[in-house]
Structure 1
């Protein structure tokens, strides 16, 4: 179960998220995942998928299978692999359409914001850092999130599962996000909460910042995640972007203490 940190959390991860020795290379943009970073939606996705499969008379994934096949990946890719693994023949398009309809109908009721992720995005945007959302969700879900949480003006570009052929952990979504912003992939930082997203960012040559929402930091292996997207993360990102005296801004940030 994902638990999104509240804005102003004082919990921190170690800085192994920021890789390299000596002076760190500058960044020109930051790419945000959506589910688990900007909104707390994973339990809702699981519930809607179970309801959809039940309605079509199909078996449903258990918790371990959900984590292995679907967390952090587009429904199209994860569901296809899970069905193939169980040798189940089903209409993927019909299942995805049904699940999307259920998800959008109950979005306001069930989906909550990740306060720290939305705060971080707004603070970066306020300081002029170009941002993009890069998500494995469908375009319709992404548009709902942008409107519901008034994030449309925060992100200069948006990439959904409908905009790419292959989803995370392949690098295509993040490469598309960098291209949409007009910056080099290696000049991008990525905010992620899932292993497939981390692997996608690494494959794209980007600098990953990972937040652990599931209480299992060891699963990321290559980075030590942060436990919240707080002022420490913002300060490092601003320093990498070369914006102002970021190191001295911490006390003036709009945080709940």
Structure 2
């Protein structure tokens, strides 16, 4: 592999690179937690942001819902998940890449190293 002339210097040999999403390519955890907390409060479960973040980090949506039920006896209304999804889509439209992420992906593409995202995040 030849290092590109601009962007991050890539050395060594890679068959491919697998990236996590949150905290590596984008920083969406705080944004997601804020959407969750605001929507939960509107649906009968006010929680401090820190409490929610503690139970949700690294979890899937279904696991977060199970934990909310176990810890708080809360069950989502029929409107909860559609509202949450709409708000996530709107919030993530403005999500910026972490500094250097775009240049790294572009450098990998230039030298022909395939890459993908492996994440617990929703699509």
TM-score normalised by L of structure 1? 0.38
Partner of 1:125: 109
How far residue 94 of structure 1 moved from its aligned partner, in angstroms, is 4.9
Aligned: 1:48 with 2:35: yes
Q: Which has the higher contact order (CA 8 A, sep 6+)?
A: 2
Matched-pair contact (CA < 8 Å) for 2:33–2:49: no
Aligned: 1:74 with 2:60: yes
Off by >3 Å, runs of 4+ in structure 1:
91-96
Bigger share in strand: 1
Q: Distance in 1 between matches of 2:106 and 2:27?
A: 17
* Structure 1 unpaired stretches of 5+: 1-6, 9-25, 140-257
Matched-pair contact (CA < 8 Å) for 1:52–1:98: yes
Q: Distance in 1 between matches of 2:85 and 2:97?
A: 19
Q: Distance in 1 between matches of 2:117 and 2:77?
A: 25
Matched-pair contact (CA < 8 Å) for 1:33–1:133: yes
Partner of 2:25: 38
Q: Distance in 1 between matches of 2:74 and 2:118?
A: 30
Q: How large is the RMSD of aligned CA atoms in angstroms? A: 2.7
Equivalent residue in structure 2 for 1:105, among 74, 83, 90:
90
Equivalent residue in structure 2 for 1:88, among 68, 73, 84:
73
How far residue 48 of structure 1 moved from its aligned partner, in angstroms, is 0.2
* Structure 2 unpaired stretches of 5+: 1-6
Aligned: 1:114 with 2:114: no
**Structure 2 CA distance for partners of 1:106 and 1:127, relative to 1, 3 Å:** same
